[in-house]
Amino acid sequence: MSNIDHNPLPPAVDPSILEALRTAATPTISDNLDRLPGIVGLRPFHRGGKLVGTALTVRVRAGDNLAIHQALNLVRPGDVVVVDGGGDISRALVGDIMKAIAESLGAAGFVIDGAVRDANAFKTSDFPCYARAAIHRGPYKMGPGAINIPVSIGGWTVNPGDVVVGDEDGVVTFPPTIAPSLIEAVRAQERREAEVLQMIREGRYDGRYGKVTAP
């Protein structure tokens, strides 16, 4: 009997929502999530490229990736494999082989609250991967673990089916139910910030956000 707890896959996020978020910066999204703590402490290991997709969540014991292997059997195009590894960095949870599998299945990327290895394979790739550290030591493959349950990534809860967005500044997640209003708020902030930058270039900015001097 498997010691991995499998749960049903969540609905995939509407592709139109994901597309609308491809140009949204994570700081702007974070500002409009009431500046809640969010995911912190992870950094990008890939060469470049935006991460946008649906959270497929995995919980593992420290240094063990059996549940991640099983989650890859379920991954759909556009899924982000979000792994709660408890922040442990004593052993890598994913490396080049698992990256290749995930990429071949159309996964959108990895978010790992733990360590990776084969760092150069990620560094020379545009397949998004966020993690705490890199280490040469490989994982155990004994379990236990769970798939598609709420997980904690650095103290922030990520639910199966959440929207995941990542860029050079980090990763944010949120429920798809708030996406339409969030996107609207993000666009409004983008317009305001563009106006401020234009004022600065034209010498009309007086140091108060949203205020202008006479032309």
Beta-carbon-side half-sphere exposure of residue 68 (alpha carbons within 13 Å): 32
Residue 187 marked as a ligand binder: no
- Contact criterion met (CB below 8 Å) for 30 and 182: no
- What the block records as the tokens of 115 is 């360590």
Distance, CA of 145 to CA of 61 (rounded, Å)? 6
Residue 95 marked as a ligand binder: yes
Which amino acid does the sequence have at 95? G
- E strand or H helix at 79: strand 79-84
Phi/psi region, residue 129 (left: phi>0; alpha: psi -120 to 50; beta: rest), is beta
Buried b (16+ CB within 10 A) or exposed e, 30-41: bebbeeeebbee
Residue 117 marked as a ligand binder: yes
Distance, CA of 124 to CA of 129 (rounded, Å)? 12
- Contact criterion met (CB below 8 Å) for 19 and 123: no
Residues whose CB is less than 8 angstroms from the CB of residue 182 and which lie 6 or more positions away in sequence, other chains included: 29, 32, 33, 174
Residue 96 marked as a ligand binder: yes
As annotated, the binding site includes 95-98, 117-118
As annotated, the binding site for substrate includes 95-98, 117
As annotated, the binding site for Mg(2+) includes 118
